[in-house]
Amino acid sequence: MSDATGLSITLLGTGSPVPSPDRAGPATLISTGDGADAEHYLVDAGRGVLMRLAACGLGAPNLNAVLLTHLHSDHITDLNDVITMRWVMTFTETPLTIVGPVGTRSVVGHLLASLAPDIDYRMAHHDDLDHAPPVHVIEVVDGAVELPDGQGGAVTIRCDQTDHKPVEPSIGYRFDHGDASVVVAGDTVPCDGLDRLCVGADALVHTVIRKDIIANIALQRMQDTLDYHSSPEEAAATAARAGLSTLVLTHYVPPIPTGGDGADWKALAAAHFDGAIELGDDLHRVEIP
């Protein structure tokens, strides 16, 4: 993972709502430390997230918390899988903490209700599985994110409101460890809440769409996406305002061809930001020392 005081960013899923053969759904892993002392925070849980975690040698039991930026389906598609695999792959009662905006508790409750037959089947089959999936939901608005004792602690987390209207509320998160700090934004346009999180940070992970391309697609449902996502230029301007050193782009719409260098995306961002610009395929990793 990262060095003793740094943070690592792994783009587990760089896709969008439209299924791709090469890109899993939106999911970002923030990690620090190694071995038993490592901490891993999953931001969003799009399709295929556990497959991508497995490629990192990790699974649901390794997560200190899942943090949801908003409740759009593509960002929570496989949350049910994370809940189930955490439950069946741990052998003592180990709650999964799920942090998210107001409304998360209701969504998780409905997910658990949908899993009720499976929960009954597994408990009937395994004598040592004598409890339903333990899930602890924390709904947040802004400020510090306080996790239960024993679930992390080396990394401090805070959040603020972002702007993805009419999807409301939506949240961005900031992770601090030692002198390293990373902000992860879900879908949003530039806004004061994200600017506040970025002040004094090192890196920003930001979802982006190519508005210059989407604007020329004569399909209303694609046109509708223009007013509540950021372009590479807008994400870069956010990073520049905060004086960040690194901008990490993800959630590419339209998809960047697998293995492509995204040079045109980088060029658009570089016109507004002179720091390091990172993008890539699923599992692309960035170290913040």
Cβ atoms < 10 Å from Cβ of 173? 26
Please tell me which residue in 44, 74, 78, 163 is annotated as part of the active site.
74
CA distance 248 to 146: 26
Tokens of 202: 């090192």
- Terminal C-alpha separation, the chain: 11
Nearest Cα to Cα of residue 235 among 199, 263, 209 = 209
**Cα(249)–Cα(11) distance, rounded to whole angstroms?**
9
Q: Is 163 a catalytic residue?
A: no
> Which ranges of the chain would DSSP assign to H, the alpha helix?
49-55, 73-76, 79-88, 104-114, 116-125, 192-198, 211-214, 220-223, 232-242, 263-270
Active site residues: 74
